[in-house]
């Protein structure tokens, strides 16, 4: 299923410091209005104990309340992590848990089958082939239509690809101006024809806006993005996303947002074509 060049990371709508539901819903609707057709969520995106699936339910309600057509929207969710409510994160890659989690996510999303289900993180206590095998069973059962991986290395991608074949469509690793150690995984995704979905794609870019205050000292790797942004009259966040999109045709960034203004700005990144000299400047600084 084809998706928009930039997705919406829905996690900020449900974790610590989350907005009220009215603003959260407005953020999802702003994304849809801007042409975003990929929404990234997870069963573990919540704040307090006992809220498993908070973000999935919120996204489902926002889609149901949207006045336009949502048939082309892909909701990608994840399973295999948990939040006990004390700020920590747990991991559980047991096949039985993943299958139960996927079935519960489908119910919360109101979907006959989950469009894209991603294994949130490898569990060191469970053989990788066993966790991936659960995804294979979910595909075969029709619970999910496509499978993805998150927080993985090249060996794990290759092993999963051997097990899942065409059922594996994406890899979601952290990648941004500040964190670029997933270059090997990005190259492998391009070779295998897998989408690469950078999470936290705006890392290293300090908050600023064209009509508001700017941080006095951007992170060193972000200063060049601020310079290009000032020259272009756009936000440095938009420049960062345009830089990512220029790196590989398989990249689909999923920046988080908790305000309509933020996702509107992110969704406009594909319209910003950086000149070769601008890309060279950014790469030189990052190196």
pLDDT tens figures, 118-132? 999 999 999 999 999
Distance in Å from the first CA to the final CA of the chain: 35
* Domain boundary assignment for the chain: 8-204+247-270
Q: Mean per-residue pLDDT for 82-98?
A: 96
CATH 3.20.20.100 fits 8-204+247-270, yes or no: yes
CB-based contact 113:143 (threshold 8 Å): yes
Q: Which residues does the annotation mark as catalytic? A: 45
pLDDT tens figures, 184-220? 999 999 999 999 999 999 999 976 544 334 444 556 6
How far is the C-alpha of 229 from the C-alpha of 243, rounded, in Å?
Answer: 11
- Closest Cα partner for 79 from 99, 60, 55? 99
pLDDT at 158 (0 to 100): 98
Burial of 151 (0-12, 13-18, 19+ CB in 10 A): buried
Residue in the structure block whose two tokens are 């999923």: 254
- Closest Cα partner for 47 from 78, 83, 77? 83
Q: Mean per-residue pLDDT for 47-58?
A: 97
Please, what is the average pLDDT of the chain? 94
Q: Mean per-residue pLDDT for 85-108?
A: 97
pLDDT at 211 (0 to 100): 37
């Amino acid at each position: 299923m084809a998706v928009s060049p930039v997705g919406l990371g829905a996690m900020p709508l449900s974790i610590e410091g989350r907005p009220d539901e009215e603003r959260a819903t407005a953020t999802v609707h702003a994304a849809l209005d801007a042409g975003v057709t990929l929404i990234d969520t997870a069963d573990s995106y919540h704040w307090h104990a006992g809220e498993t699936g908070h973000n999935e339910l919120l996204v489902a309600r926002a889609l149901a309340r949207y006045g336009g057509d949502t048939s082309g929207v892909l909701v990608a969710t994840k399973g295999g992590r948990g939040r006990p409510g004390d700020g920590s994160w747990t991991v559980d890659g047991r096949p039985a848990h993943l299958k139960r989690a996927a079935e519960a996510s489908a119910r919360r999303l109101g979907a006959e089958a989950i469009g894209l289900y991603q294994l949130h993180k490898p569990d060191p206590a469970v053989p990788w082939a066993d966790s991936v095998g659960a995804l294979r069973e979910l595909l075969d059962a029709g619970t999910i239509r496509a499978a993805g991986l998150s927080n993985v290395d090249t060996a794990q991608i290759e092993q999963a690809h051997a097990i899942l074949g065409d059922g594996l469509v994406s890899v979601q690793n952290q990648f941004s101006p500040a964190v670029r150690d997933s270059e090997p995984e990005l190259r492998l995704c391009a070779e295998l024809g897998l989408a690469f979905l950078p999470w936290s794609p705006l890392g290293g870019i300090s908050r600023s806006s064209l009509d508001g205050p700017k941080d006095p000292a951007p992170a060193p790797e972000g200063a060049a993005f601020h310079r290009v942004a000032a020259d272009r009259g756009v936000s440095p966040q938009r420049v960062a996303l345009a830089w990512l999109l220029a790196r590989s045709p398989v990249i689909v960034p999923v920046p988080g947002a908790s305000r309509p203004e933020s996702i509107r700005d992110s969704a406009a990144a594909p319209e910003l074509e950086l000149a070769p000299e601008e890309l060279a400047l950014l790469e030189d600084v990052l190196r």
